[in-house]
Structure formats: structure tokens, C-alpha cells
């Protein structure tokens, strides 16, 4: 067990999770400050996703040359610079362009670090603990997701500035970057992705798995980024109540991932994935048309998707997990970019409630693909 790699990945994901999920509750304030519509404002998310996608596409070049550890350090530094830049952009009414520029740079950091963290944990943990370690990694993200809206709500209430919130949070990746040189040394036995492994996995597998991940991740992000705006625009809530519902969303997200990282639940991973996407879709729909509580509650079902999916493909493809995760994240990136742009456009035309109907549809599509995977390759 290479604990230094695992711990660095956990702390890096904590930084990533805080910065990634604080953007949602700050989003309505950003729109008000720059006085832009949701179509323009969606660039705040889609630009980051697009740049993250680009980094995923070219991962074979930088990952093979620099390795996961050195690459992760670089992306953590970029995370600090981008977050600081986004915060400083808020000091100027004409700073929307620079905000999008630094948001794009933030996407570079999240796209690259996401790949590196999964690889370091997969390589740093032995076979017995690998799946729990990966589940724990995403539980850390759940904790950060829970804390981020709480921080945003308190900061906006006390300090009243979204820009200073981002500047303050930029200290976290800076400290993480500095600490990585003290606690983690470059290791000669770091396993790099071999070129031969790229040729052994049919592209159709990567694409189909990517679709399953992409639909589920897009549904999760459509909620985590839009609940505050949905609360204010559709439900007429104040920012505190909107932040509370977002906090509930991340609380259920954390609860599900924590349970799956600590306890062993019987049943096949494929069956749990069907349960996650099926019940998640139903809960999401009920949240839009029956009671808003079902919106955050759907996170409990969505939360188990990523740990179970990683466990599933780890079993199916064993040592090809590194390349497969990079390919999956590329497909996810395409869908996330499209999702953010589409939600912004549909919101301007028909309203946010209509736009969010894509969430249950995405989960249902993931459920459908999983349901029809019945051959011997996929049945685990």
C-alpha cells in the first residue's frame, strides 16, 4: 500500500470537490453581478467542462511522459491559479471574460487531476483494498460537496461577496501543492500506462461504458449546479433556503458513498447500478412535479453509482482500469459540456423546470443501457 499516494489523492479531491461544488451556490450571485442571462452564464460551467474534456482527450501524451504523480502536482497548482483568478475577476464589472478564461483553466485542472487521482489510488492500493479505496475517494468528494454549499451560504451571509469566497478557497489547493513536496516523493516504481494496453480494449467497450457514466454524471451535475437557481427562480426561495436544499443534496450524496465505502453490501454491482439509475430517475422526476424534497433525496440513489461502476469495470477489465477511466472521462466530458449549454439554452426558451427534465431522462437512458447488457461480458 502506497499510503502517500492515496492520502495526496484524497486531499487533492477534497480541494477539487470544494472548488467544484461551491460554484453552484455562487452562480446566481455571479449572474447578478455581471448582469448576464443564463445562456451566457452557462459558459461558467461549460467552458470548464470543455477544457477538462480536452485534457482527457490528450491524456495519453502527458500521462505517459510525466506520470500520474507529477501531473497531479501540476494540475493542483493550476487549480490554485484558476480559482484565484476567478475571484479577482469579481472585482471588476467588466470581468466576465476573465472569469470565463480562468474557469476554463479550472477545467484543465479538474480534468487532469480527476484522471491522476483515480490512477494513483488504483495503483497505490493493493487488490484487496482497491475497491474500498476508490469508493472512499469518491466519499471524500461527497464530503466536500456537502461542506461547499454550507460555506457558500455562510460566506455570502457574513461577507456578502462571491469573489472573496473564491479567493479564500484558493488557499486550499495552494497548501495541498506545497504539502505534496514535503510528504510525497517521486517514486521510481510508479506504474505508467503502457502503450500495449491501449490496443487490447475495443473502443466500443469504452464508448458504451462512457455513455453509462456520462448520462449518470450529467444528471448529478444538472442538480448540483442548478438547485440554487431553481430554488430562487422557480420556487421563489431566498438564498439560504436554496443553499439548504443543495446541502441536503450533498448530504444524501455523502451518506450513500460513505455507506458503500465502509460496508460490504451483497449483490452484483450491475444490479446496484440498475437500482441507482432507476430509483434516481424516479426521485428526480418526483422532485420536479410532486415535492422538491425528492430533488436532494435523489442524490442518495445517484451516490452509489460511481463506486459501484468503478468496482464493476475494475472486475471486468482488471489492469486496464487506468486507460478505461481516461476514455470514460472523455465521453463524460463531451456530455457534460453539451448538458450545460443545453440547460442554459432551454432555460432561456422554456424555463429552468423544463430544462431540468433532462436529468430524469439521462438517468433513464443509463438505466436502459445497463438493462440490455445481458451477455457474459457484462453480467458481473
Q: pLDDT tens for residues 73-109? A: 999 999 999 999 999 998 887 789 999 999 999 999 9
Which stretch of DSSP H or E encloses residue 35? none
- Hey, CA dihedral for 109, 224, 134, 171, is it positive or negative? positive
For the segment 216-232, the average pLDDT, to the nearest whole number, is 88
E strands along 203-358, which residues? none
Is residue 343 in a domain? yes
Interval 110-126 mean pLDDT: 83
What mean pLDDT, rounded, does the chain reach? 83
CA distance 170 to 15: 9
Q: How far is CA 47 from the centre of its chain?
A: 15
What pLDDT shows up at residue 380? 44
pLDDT of residue 39: 75
Q: Does the pLDDT of residue 373 top 90, yes or no?
A: no
pLDDT at residue 239 in the model: 76
pLDDT band of 366, cuts 50, 70, 90: very high
Report the domain count for the chain. Answer: 1
* pLDDT tens digits for range 182-211: 766 555 444 444 443 443 556 667 788 889
Least confident of 101-105, 238-242, 355-359: 238-242
Quick check: is 223 in a domain?
Answer: yes
- Domain membership of residue 272 as a residue range: 3-371
Instruction: Give 37-80 pLDDT, tens digit per residue.
Output: 877 887 888 788 789 888 988 887 888 788 888 999 999 999 99
Place of cell 439560504: 240
100, 301, 302, 346 from 357: Cα distances, Å: 27, 17, 16, 10
CATH of the domain at 340: 1.20.1250.20
On whether residue 350 sits in a domain, the answer given is yes
Given this model, what pLDDT does residue 202 score?
Answer: 61
Selected residue with higher pLDDT from 34 and 42: 34
Specify the residue for cell string 415535492: 291
> Looking at residue 136, what is its pLDDT?
82
167: in domain: yes
In a domain, 112, yes or no: yes
Q: Which of 90-99, 177-186, 277-286 has the lowest mean pLDDT?
A: 177-186
Residue range 242-255: mean pLDDT, rounded: 85
Tell me if 377 is assigned to some domain: no
Residue 376, in any domain of the structure = no
Would you say residue 380 lies in a domain? no
Q: What is the mean pLDDT of residues 299-309?
A: 87
d(CA 282, CA 104): 33
Residues above pLDDT 70, as percent of the chain: 89
- The grid coordinates of residue 149 equal 454549499
Which of 94-98, 277-281, 367-371 has the lowest average pLDDT? 94-98
* Integer Cα distance of 3 and 118 in angstroms: 14
Amino acid at each position: 500500500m502506497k499510503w502517500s499516494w492515496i492520502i495526496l489523492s484524497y486531499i487533492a479531491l477534497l480541494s477539487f470537490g470544494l472548488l467544484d461544488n461551491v460554484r453552484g451556490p455562487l452562480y446566481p450571485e455571479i449572474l447578478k453581478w455581471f448582469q448576464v442571462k443564463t445562456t451566457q452564464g452557462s459558459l461558467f460551467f461549460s467552458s470548464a467542462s470543455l477544457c477538462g474534456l480536452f485534457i482527457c482527450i490528450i491524456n495519453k501524451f502527458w500521462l505517459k511522459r510525466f506520470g500520474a504523480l507529477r501531473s497531479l502536482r501540476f494540475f493542483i497548482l493550476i487549480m490554485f491559479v484558476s480559482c484565484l483568478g476567478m475571484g479577482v475577476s469579481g472585482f471588476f464589472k467588466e470581468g466576465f471574460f476573465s472569469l470565463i478564461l480562468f474557469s476554463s483553466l479550472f477545467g484543465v485542472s479538474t480534468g487532469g487531476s480527476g484522471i491522476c487521482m483515480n490512477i494513483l489510488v488504483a495503483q497505490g492500493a493493493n487488490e484487496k483494498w482497491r475497491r474500498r479505496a476508490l469508493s472512499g475517494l469518491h466519499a471524500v468528494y461527497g464530503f466536500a460537496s456537502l461542506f461547499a454549499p454550507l460555506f457558500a451560504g455562510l460566506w455570502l451571509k457574513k461577507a456578502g461577496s462571491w469573489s472573496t469566497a473564491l479567493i479564500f478557497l484558493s488557499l486550499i489547493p495552494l497548501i495541498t501543492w506545497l504539502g505534496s513536496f514535503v510528504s510525497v516523493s517521486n517514486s521510481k516504481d510508479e506504474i505508467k500506462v503502457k502503450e500495449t494496453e491501449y490496443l487490447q480494449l475495443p473502443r466500443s467497450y469504452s464508448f458504451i461504458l462512457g455513455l453509462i457514466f456520462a448520462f449518470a454524471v450529467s444528471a448529478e451535475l444538472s442538480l448540483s449546479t442548478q438547485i440554487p437557481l431553481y430554488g430562487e427562480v422557480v420556487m421563489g426561495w431566498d438564498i439560504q433556503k436554496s443553499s439548504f436544499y443543495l446541502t441536503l443534496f450533498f448530504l444524501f450524496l455523502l451518506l450513500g458513498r460513505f455507506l458503500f465505502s465502509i460496508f460490504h453490501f451483497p449483490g452484483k454491482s450491475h444490479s446496484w447500478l440498475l437500482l441507482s439509475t432507476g430509483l434516481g430517475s424516479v426521485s428526480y422526476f418526483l422532485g420536479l412535479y410532486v415535492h422538491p424534497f425528492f430533488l436532494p433525496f435523489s442524490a442518495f440513489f445517484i451516490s452509489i453509482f460511481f463506486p459501484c461502476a468503478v468496482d464493476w469495470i475494475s472486475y471486468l477489465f482488471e489492469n486496464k482500469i487506468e486507460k478505461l477511466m481516461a476514455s470514460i472521462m472523455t465521453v463524460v466530458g463531451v456530455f457534460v459540456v453539451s448538458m450545460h449549454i443545453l440547460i442554459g439554452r432551454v432555460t432561456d426558451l422554456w424555463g429552468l423546470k423544463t430544462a431540468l427534465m433532462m436529468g430524469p431522462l439521462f438517468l433513464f437512458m443509463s438505466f436502459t443501457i445497463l438493462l440490455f447488457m445481458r451477455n457474459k461480458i457484462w453480467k458481473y
